Amino acid sequence: MSEDDRPDATPTDEDRAVEAFERLGLTGYEARVFIALHRLGVGTAREVSEVTDVPRSQVYSAAESLADRGLAGVQQSSPMQYRPIGVEAARSTLRTRFDRESTRAFDYVDRVRETADEQREDIWTVRGRAAVTDRVLELLAEAQRRVLFGARLPELAPEEVVTALEAAADDGVRTTVVSRSPSVRERFGEPIDVADTPPTVDGDDRSGRILLVDDDVVLLSVTGAVDDDDDGDAGETAIWSAHSNMATVLIRLTEVGLGVDGTG
Amino acid sequence: MSEDDRPDATPTDEDRAVEAFERLGLTGYEARVFIALHRLGVGTAREVSEVTDVPRSQVYSAAESLADRGLAGVQQSSPMQYRPIGVEAARSTLRTRFDRESTRAFDYVDRVRETADEQREDIWTVRGRAAVTDRVLELLAEAQRRVLFGARLPELAPEEVVTALEAAADDGVRTTVVSRSPSVRERFGEPIDVADTPPTVDGDDRSGRILLVDDDVVLLSVTGAVDDDDDGDAGETAIWSAHSNMATVLIRLTEVGLGVDGTG
DNA sequence: TCATTGTTGTTATGCGCCTACTAACAGCCG
DNA sequence: CGGCTGTTAGTAGGCGCATAACAACAATGA
């Protein structure tokens, strides 16, 4: 059934779908049989093996495994027949399973977790949009006197960050937001100072976020796919430092470039 | 650090958490390092290997892999230091990844899917709560003249099923719901007939759902963990048949047991 | 009636990859 | 020298992929 048996041909849409299913926890055979069953509506092992690249003898176990996962139905007859569960039901079955495992895993982590007591002359690296946002929020929580936050793109100033910045401003922290992008600037109001980024430092379109907190906390991020696994949207890498001489030095440098004065 | 090195000791809470992380796509080492980092707050490879059962030499690659996934941060120094991302941020990172893969997988299935044109003298088996519900909904959609639905437990009559039953009733389908459980019965109103289950057939507390549609569609389910993978809540297995003599016979038998008359 | 042919469902086997685990190593510093 | 760090090689076992062989059964034709 495959018009293309070359070992390294361009991956088809089906190949990509199979890979996605594999990352959801299915085996390659299970994924192909599931897809084939949806193609057929109903089918025997033979029919399945004719519309996809799974040997007939392996269809039985793969389909049985799908049935165990609640993703397919079986008819005990000769020949046996299989039919897939509906797409939405299958999606929700997998999602339920994901949520269950997620709870099991993170509940335990929650119980044993310790918060780090700071700290030394450190520069930390963090990869991934969500991870960077997480770090921004934790650093913002320490703010006592002033905060400067910059984001080139709106996606880099998500709702949680906006909220945290507003909370800081409400607590009497002198809060400034800089961005070249108007759509970022207009998300902040009232107690927050908003400013355009000076053209001098805005040249590189790979810059991401900047965060200065008080006099000794700094975070800088850049965007651009680092070709992780396959995190299309997470191409952000940040460095940060807190309560260190290194942080202080970085802050001075950054302030000069931005034309901001942190003293006062 | 392990007080228990017997090969097959009872799994600890941490073991169970590690297994959950593995089902979310992490390796065992990655999971243990992630947990250890949360235990420590911050840590070097040595410290991690002392707190969990991962050889020091393997901590480096495991932590680096966590950093690639956006689940940990790295400090390039000697000794290197690692720190975990916050629990909520980690959970949301994994969930985002899950949703992305889920879309990739099911969008393709949606494009190639065919609906089965019914059908023969078949009895189908379906395992898992969600899969059974899916089948109930598809069978309900065929209703022309009458529907009888029964569920022993409220969980077996989820909102979608209630909605579908009401829709059928509104379409002029004579609709009856039977259940021993008052909490099931009181979910249905107006155009739907509600009845208690006669004691004669209610004996077995493993019965699940029953569905009769017109004169030739029937579904029967039973509950009880079939010890699938680990689907704690999905211990339901159903058989069903539609437009077959087998279905007709089953319907007659069921009606007698329930004291219902389907003619008219 | 018997032999032949084909189908079905099960099972065995070899291969390759990834993970777990151990071990060895060069570089650095006190 | 001795201890620590970070990297790398090497082994073993498990799982998934792939192919083949098999018994049981049904259909066919002489």
B interface test, pick of A88, A113, A138, A230 with most B CB neighbours within 10 Å: A113
Distance B57 CA to C25 C1' (A): 12
- Tell me: do A131 and A251 sit in the same domain: yes
Residue bearing the bigger pLDDT, A6 or A84: A84
User: Cβ–Cβ of B229/A68 closer than 8 Å?
Assistant: yes
Task: Say whether pLDDT at A5 is over 50.
Answer: no
Q: DSSP per residue over B95-164, as a string? A: HHHHHHHHHHHHHHHHHH--PPPP-SS--EEEESHHHHHHHHHHHHTT-SSEEEEEESSGGGS-HHHHHH
Residue A230: pLDDT band with limits 50, 70, 90: very low
| Residue A27 maps to a domain | yes
Give a yes or no: residue B212 inside a domain. Answer: yes
The nucleotides of chain C lying under 7 Å from a protein CB are: 7-12, 18-24
Q: Is residue A221 part of a domain?
A: yes
Shortest distance, CA B198 to any CA of chain A (angstroms): 31
Residue nearest to nucleotide C21 (CA to C1'): B55
Domain boundary among B113, B132, B149: B113
Q: Which helix (H) or strand (E) holds B175?
A: strand B174-178
- Are A178 and A192 spatial neighbours (Cβ–Cβ below 8 Å)? no
- Is residue B263 domain-resident? no
CA of A139 to C1' of C26 (A): 39
Burial readout B195-228 (b: 16 or more C-beta within 10 A, e: otherwise): eebeeebbeeeebbbbbbbbbbbbbbbbbeeeeb
Q: Which nucleotide is nearest to B30 (CA to C1')?
A: C19
* Cβ–Cβ pairs < 8 A, chains A and B: 238
Numbers of helices and strands, H then E, in chain B: 9, 9
- Tell me the mean pLDDT per 10 residues along chain B, length 264: 49 93 96 95 94 95 95 89 94 95 96 77 86 94 93 91 94 91 83 72 72 92 63 73 83 74 56
Domain count, chain A: 2
Are residues A244 and A130 part of one domain?
Answer: yes
Across all strands, nucleotide nearest A26 (CA–C1'): D16
DSSP B75: E
The pLDDT of residue B262:
57
3-state class (DSSP) for residue B185: helix
Pairs from B221-229 (Cβ < 8 Å, separation ≥ 24) = B221/B132, B221/B156, B223/B152, B223/B153, B223/B156, B226/B127, B228/A68, B228/A69, B228/A70, B228/B127, B228/B128, B229/A68, B229/A69
Minimum distance, in Å, between the CA of residue A40 and any CA atom of chain B: 6
| Nearest chain A residue (CA) to B85 | A131
My answer on whether B132 and B249 are in the same domain is yes
Note whether B128 and B109 are same-domain residues.
no
Same domain, B141 and B234: yes
Alpha-carbon span B31 to B26, nearest angstrom: 6
Closest Cα of chain B to A85: distance in Å? 6
Distance of alpha carbon A71 from alpha carbon A84, whole angstroms? 6
Same domain, yes or no: A182 and A244: yes
* Assigned domain for B264 exists: no
Strand D neighbours among B 57-76, CB < 7 A? 57-58, 60-61
CATH number at residue A55: 1.10.10.10
What's the pLDDT band for A116 if we cut at 50, 70, 90?
confident
User: A98 to chain B: which residues are within 8 Å by CB?
Assistant: 24, 95, 98
Distance between the alpha carbon (CA) of A8 and the C1' atom of D6, Å: 36
Provide the whole-model pTM. 0.84
A78 touches strand C (CB under 7 A): yes
Paired residues of B151 in beta bridges: B209
Residue A7's pLDDT band (boundaries 50, 70, 90)? very low
Mean pLDDT within A187-202: 70
Task: Collapse the DSSP code of B252 into the 3-class scheme (helix H, G, I; strand E, B; otherwise coil) and give the result.
Answer: helix
The average confidence (pLDDT) of chain A is 85
Nearest CA distance, A239 vs chain B (angstrom): 9
The three-class DSSP label of residue A211 is strand
| Rounded CA–C1' distance between B218 and D27, in angstroms | 33
d(CA B138, CA B118): 12
Of A88, A106, A133, the residue that ends a domain is A88
Q: How many Å from the CA of A28 to C1' of D16? A: 8
Tokens of B34: 């992630």
Q: Are residues A143 and A213 in the same domain?
A: yes
Structure confidence at residue A248 (pLDDT): 85
Return the structure tokens found at B177: 């719901």
Is the pLDDT confidence value at A197 over 80? no
The verdict on residue A104 lying in a domain is no
**How many other CB atoms are there within 10 angstroms of residue A225's CB atom?**
12
Question: Do B44 and B10 form a contact (C-beta atoms < 8 A)?
Answer: no
Min Cα–Cα distance to chain B from A107, Å: 8
pLDDT 10s digits, A12-61: 899 999 999 999 999 999 999 999 999 999 999 999 999 999 999 999 99
Q: Looking at residues A186-202, what average pLDDT do you find?
A: 71
Q: Do A87 and B77 touch (CB under 8 A)?
A: no
Domain boundaries, position B57: 1-113
Q: Do A131 and B105 touch (CB under 8 A)?
A: no
Strand C closer than 7 A to residue B149 Cβ: no
Residues A137 and A74 in one domain: no
Model confidence pLDDT, tens digit, residues A50-89: 999 999 999 999 999 999 999 999 988 888 999 999 999 9
Residue A79 CA, nucleotide C8 C1', distance (Å)? 7
Asked if B124 lies within 8 A of A85 by C-beta distance, the reply is no
Residues B249 and B159 in one domain: yes
Task: Say if residue B172 is in the same domain as residue B244.
Answer: yes
Residues A60, A146 share a domain: no
Contact check, Cβ <8 Å, A69/B128 = yes
Residues of A in contact with B100 (CB under 8 A): 232
The number of beta carbons lying within 10 Å of the beta carbon of residue B2 is: 10
Of A122-136, A217-231, B178-192, B241-255, least confident by mean pLDDT is A217-231
Whether residue A144 contacts residue B87, with contact meaning beta carbons closer than 8 Å, is answered with no
CATH, residue B187 = 3.30.870.10
State the nucleotide closest to A32 in CA–C1' terms: D17
Task: Please give residues of chain B from 23 to 62 whose alpha-adjacent beta carbon (CB) lies under 7 Å from any atom of strand C.
Answer: 27-29, 53-55, 57-58
Q: Is residue B74 part of a domain?
A: yes
Cα end-to-end distance, chain B, whole Å: 74
Q: Hey, what amino acid is at B237?
A: T
Q: Check CB contact under 8 Å for A90 and B106.
A: yes
Query: Is residue B62 in a domain?
Result: yes
- Among A72, A88, A104, identify where a domain stops: A88
Please check whether residues B68 and B17 belong to one and the same domain. yes
